[in-house]
Amino acid sequence: MEIIKATGIHKTYNPDKIPVHALRGVDLGIEKGEFTAIVGPSGSGKTTLLNIIGGLDTPDKGSIIINNTDISSFKDNEMINFRRDNIGFVFQAYNLIPVLTAKENVEFVMVLQNRNLKERTERAEELLNAVDLGDKMDKRPSELSGGQQQRVAVARALASNPTFVLADEPTANLDSTTTANLLDMMLELNQKEKMTFVFSTHDQRVIDRARRVITLVDGKIV
Protein backbone atom coordinates (compact mmCIF):
# COMPACT_ATOMS: atom_id res chain seq x y z
CA MET A 1 0.00 0.00 0.00
CA GLU A 2 1.37 3.44 -0.95
CA ILE A 3 1.65 5.74 2.05
CA ILE A 4 3.21 8.56 -0.02
CA LYS A 5 1.99 9.45 -3.49
CA ALA A 6 3.45 12.48 -5.27
CA THR A 7 1.88 13.34 -8.61
CA GLY A 8 3.10 15.93 -11.13
CA ILE A 9 5.19 17.91 -8.62
CA HIS A 10 6.63 21.15 -9.99
CA LYS A 11 8.62 23.70 -7.97
CA THR A 12 10.35 26.83 -9.27
CA TYR A 13 12.26 29.30 -7.11
CA ASN A 14 12.70 32.98 -8.10
CA PRO A 15 10.13 32.72 -10.91
CA ASP A 16 10.14 36.49 -11.52
CA LYS A 17 13.93 36.94 -11.64
CA ILE A 18 16.28 34.13 -12.62
CA PRO A 19 14.05 31.04 -12.28
CA VAL A 20 15.48 27.88 -10.75
CA HIS A 21 13.40 24.87 -11.79
CA ALA A 22 13.95 22.61 -8.78
CA LEU A 23 11.34 19.97 -9.71
CA ARG A 24 9.80 19.38 -13.12
CA GLY A 25 6.85 17.01 -12.94
CA VAL A 26 7.92 14.39 -10.40
CA ASP A 27 5.73 11.32 -9.86
CA LEU A 28 6.66 9.09 -6.94
CA GLY A 29 5.04 6.42 -4.80
CA ILE A 30 6.47 5.05 -1.53
CA GLU A 31 5.04 1.96 0.14
CA LYS A 32 5.01 1.15 3.85
CA GLY A 33 8.23 -0.43 5.08
CA GLU A 34 10.49 0.92 2.32
CA PHE A 35 14.12 1.89 2.95
CA THR A 36 14.61 4.20 0.00
CA ALA A 37 17.37 6.58 -1.08
CA ILE A 38 16.79 9.56 -3.36
CA VAL A 39 20.10 10.37 -5.04
CA GLY A 40 21.45 12.79 -7.61
CA PRO A 41 23.97 15.61 -8.03
CA SER A 42 23.80 18.84 -6.04
CA GLY A 43 20.95 20.97 -7.34
CA SER A 44 19.01 17.98 -8.68
CA GLY A 45 16.03 18.65 -6.40
CA LYS A 46 16.49 16.00 -3.69
CA THR A 47 16.03 18.25 -0.67
CA THR A 48 13.19 20.17 -2.35
CA LEU A 49 11.35 16.90 -2.97
CA LEU A 50 11.85 15.76 0.63
CA ASN A 51 10.68 19.13 1.95
CA ILE A 52 7.54 19.00 -0.19
CA ILE A 53 6.75 15.42 0.87
CA GLY A 54 7.26 16.52 4.48
CA GLY A 55 5.07 19.59 4.17
CA LEU A 56 7.96 21.99 4.85
CA ASP A 57 7.52 23.47 1.37
CA THR A 58 4.61 23.60 -1.07
CA PRO A 59 4.59 22.61 -4.76
CA ASP A 60 3.67 25.13 -7.45
CA LYS A 61 1.74 22.38 -9.15
CA GLY A 62 0.87 18.77 -8.35
CA SER A 63 -0.39 16.89 -5.31
CA ILE A 64 1.05 15.06 -2.30
CA ILE A 65 -1.14 12.38 -0.76
CA ILE A 66 -0.07 10.82 2.54
CA ASN A 67 -2.15 7.96 3.93
CA ASN A 68 -5.02 8.92 1.60
CA THR A 69 -4.91 12.55 2.79
CA ASP A 70 -4.10 15.28 0.23
CA ILE A 71 -1.82 17.67 2.11
CA SER A 72 -1.33 20.06 -0.83
CA SER A 73 -4.14 22.37 0.21
CA PHE A 74 -3.57 22.35 3.98
CA LYS A 75 -3.48 25.66 5.83
CA ASP A 76 -0.39 26.33 7.98
CA ASN A 77 -1.88 25.18 11.29
CA GLU A 78 -3.32 22.03 9.68
CA MET A 79 0.09 21.24 8.19
CA ILE A 80 1.88 21.76 11.50
CA ASN A 81 -0.46 19.34 13.27
CA PHE A 82 -0.27 16.81 10.44
CA ARG A 83 3.55 16.89 10.40
CA ARG A 84 3.68 16.52 14.19
CA ASP A 85 1.56 13.36 14.15
CA ASN A 86 2.64 11.69 10.90
CA ILE A 87 6.17 12.58 9.83
CA GLY A 88 9.54 12.15 11.53
CA PHE A 89 12.46 14.31 10.37
CA VAL A 90 16.21 13.71 10.62
CA PHE A 91 18.30 16.65 9.38
CA GLN A 92 21.97 16.98 8.47
CA ALA A 93 22.44 19.56 11.25
CA TYR A 94 20.67 17.44 13.95
CA ASN A 95 18.48 20.44 15.02
CA LEU A 96 18.34 19.42 18.67
CA ILE A 97 17.23 21.98 21.26
CA PRO A 98 20.47 22.93 23.05
CA VAL A 99 18.97 23.64 26.51
CA LEU A 100 17.16 20.28 26.68
CA THR A 101 18.66 16.92 27.62
CA ALA A 102 18.65 14.01 25.17
CA LYS A 103 15.58 12.60 26.88
CA GLU A 104 13.78 15.95 26.85
CA ASN A 105 14.58 16.41 23.15
CA VAL A 106 13.00 13.04 22.39
CA GLU A 107 10.00 13.84 24.58
CA PHE A 108 9.40 17.25 23.02
CA VAL A 109 7.16 16.15 20.15
CA MET A 110 5.11 14.07 22.59
CA VAL A 111 4.64 17.16 24.78
CA LEU A 112 3.21 18.89 21.70
CA GLN A 113 0.90 15.88 21.25
CA ASN A 114 -0.33 16.30 24.86
CA ARG A 115 0.73 12.78 25.80
CA ASN A 116 0.95 12.13 29.54
CA LEU A 117 4.21 12.16 31.48
CA LYS A 118 4.35 8.40 32.07
CA GLU A 119 3.85 7.61 28.39
CA ARG A 120 6.40 10.24 27.31
CA THR A 121 9.01 9.01 29.75
CA GLU A 122 8.60 5.35 28.83
CA ARG A 123 8.70 6.03 25.09
CA ALA A 124 11.76 8.32 25.31
CA GLU A 125 13.68 5.83 27.45
CA GLU A 126 12.73 2.94 25.17
CA LEU A 127 13.93 4.82 22.07
CA LEU A 128 17.16 6.07 23.62
CA ASN A 129 17.95 2.53 24.74
CA ALA A 130 17.16 1.33 21.20
CA VAL A 131 19.73 3.77 19.77
CA ASP A 132 22.26 2.73 22.44
CA LEU A 133 22.13 5.99 24.40
CA GLY A 134 20.52 4.71 27.59
CA ASP A 135 23.46 6.10 29.59
CA LYS A 136 23.30 9.55 27.95
CA MET A 137 19.66 10.49 28.62
CA ASP A 138 20.53 13.42 30.91
CA LYS A 139 23.25 14.88 28.65
CA ARG A 140 22.64 18.05 26.66
CA PRO A 141 23.61 18.16 22.95
CA SER A 142 26.86 20.04 23.68
CA GLU A 143 27.96 17.07 25.83
CA LEU A 144 27.38 14.54 23.02
CA SER A 145 29.43 13.68 19.93
CA GLY A 146 28.02 14.33 16.46
CA GLY A 147 27.07 10.70 16.05
CA GLN A 148 25.34 10.62 19.44
CA GLN A 149 23.42 13.81 18.59
CA GLN A 150 22.25 12.26 15.32
CA ARG A 151 21.10 9.15 17.18
CA VAL A 152 19.08 11.37 19.53
CA ALA A 153 17.61 12.99 16.40
CA VAL A 154 16.60 9.57 15.06
CA ALA A 155 14.99 8.67 18.41
CA ARG A 156 13.15 12.01 18.36
CA ALA A 157 11.94 11.36 14.80
CA LEU A 158 10.43 8.04 15.93
CA ALA A 159 8.89 9.36 19.16
CA SER A 160 5.53 10.31 17.65
CA ASN A 161 5.09 6.88 15.98
CA PRO A 162 5.16 8.58 12.57
CA THR A 163 3.90 7.13 9.32
CA PHE A 164 7.41 7.54 7.88
CA VAL A 165 10.78 9.20 8.52
CA LEU A 166 12.43 11.65 6.11
CA ALA A 167 16.21 11.87 6.46
CA ASP A 168 17.97 14.69 4.59
CA GLU A 169 21.71 13.94 4.24
CA PRO A 170 21.73 12.48 7.78
CA THR A 171 25.29 11.14 7.54
CA ALA A 172 26.95 14.20 5.98
CA ASN A 173 28.71 15.30 9.19
CA LEU A 174 29.61 11.84 10.51
CA ASP A 175 32.71 9.67 10.25
CA SER A 176 32.58 6.27 8.58
CA THR A 177 32.26 4.15 11.75
CA THR A 178 29.52 6.36 13.19
CA THR A 179 27.71 6.37 9.83
CA ALA A 180 27.80 2.58 9.60
CA ASN A 181 26.43 2.22 13.15
CA LEU A 182 23.67 4.79 12.56
CA LEU A 183 22.57 3.24 9.26
CA ASP A 184 22.60 -0.29 10.67
CA MET A 185 20.45 0.93 13.56
CA MET A 186 17.94 2.56 11.18
CA LEU A 187 17.88 -0.56 9.03
CA GLU A 188 17.15 -2.65 12.12
CA LEU A 189 14.28 -0.31 13.09
CA ASN A 190 13.01 -0.58 9.51
CA GLN A 191 13.06 -4.37 9.61
CA LYS A 192 11.76 -4.86 13.16
CA GLU A 193 9.13 -2.13 13.30
CA LYS A 194 8.41 -1.82 9.55
CA MET A 195 9.30 1.87 9.89
CA THR A 196 9.50 3.55 6.48
CA PHE A 197 12.64 5.60 5.79
CA VAL A 198 13.20 7.93 2.82
CA PHE A 199 16.68 9.47 2.52
CA SER A 200 18.11 12.18 0.32
CA THR A 201 21.81 11.48 0.08
CA HIS A 202 25.13 11.62 -1.74
CA ASP A 203 26.55 8.96 0.58
CA GLN A 204 27.41 5.64 -1.06
CA ARG A 205 27.09 3.92 2.33
CA VAL A 206 23.42 4.92 2.48
CA ILE A 207 22.89 3.91 -1.15
CA ASP A 208 24.46 0.50 -0.53
CA ARG A 209 21.97 -0.24 2.26
CA ALA A 210 18.89 1.11 0.47
CA ARG A 211 16.50 -1.43 -1.00
CA ARG A 212 15.36 1.08 -3.61
CA VAL A 213 17.29 3.94 -5.19
CA ILE A 214 15.54 6.82 -7.00
CA THR A 215 17.75 9.09 -9.12
CA LEU A 216 16.91 12.75 -9.69
CA VAL A 217 18.63 14.81 -12.38
CA ASP A 218 17.61 18.41 -13.12
CA GLY A 219 14.39 18.04 -11.19
CA LYS A 220 13.22 14.86 -12.92
CA ILE A 221 13.33 11.20 -11.96
CA VAL A 222 15.50 9.31 -14.43
In three-state secondary structure terms, 166 is: strand
Task: State residue 1's pLDDT score.
Answer: 81
Q: How many Å is the Cα radius of gyration of the chain?
A: 17
Rounded CA separation 97/103 (Å): 11
Asked if 220 and 24 count as a contact pair (C-beta separation under 8 A), the reply is yes
Task: State residue 83's pLDDT score.
Answer: 92
Asked if 71 and 80 count as a contact pair (C-beta separation under 8 A), the reply is no
Task: State residue 136's pLDDT score.
Answer: 96
Task: State residue 52's pLDDT score.
Answer: 94
Q: How many CB atoms lie within 10 A of CB 197?
A: 28
Task: State residue 62's pLDDT score.
Answer: 95
Total domain count for the chain? 1
Rounded CA separation 8/114 (Å): 36
Of the candidates 6, 44, 11, 55, which has an alpha carbon nearest to the alpha carbon of residue 166? 55
Q: Is the dihedral of CA 23, 209, 142, 126 positive or negative?
A: positive
Task: State residue 208's pLDDT score.
Answer: 95
Mean pLDDT (10-residue bins), the chain, 222 residues: 94 89 96 96 92 93 94 89 92 90 96 94 92 94 93 91 91 85 88 91 93 96 94
pTM above 0.75, yes or no: yes
Tell me the residue range of the domain where 84 lies.
2-221
Helix (H) or strand (E) holding 221: strand 220-221
CATH number at residue 148: 3.40.50.300
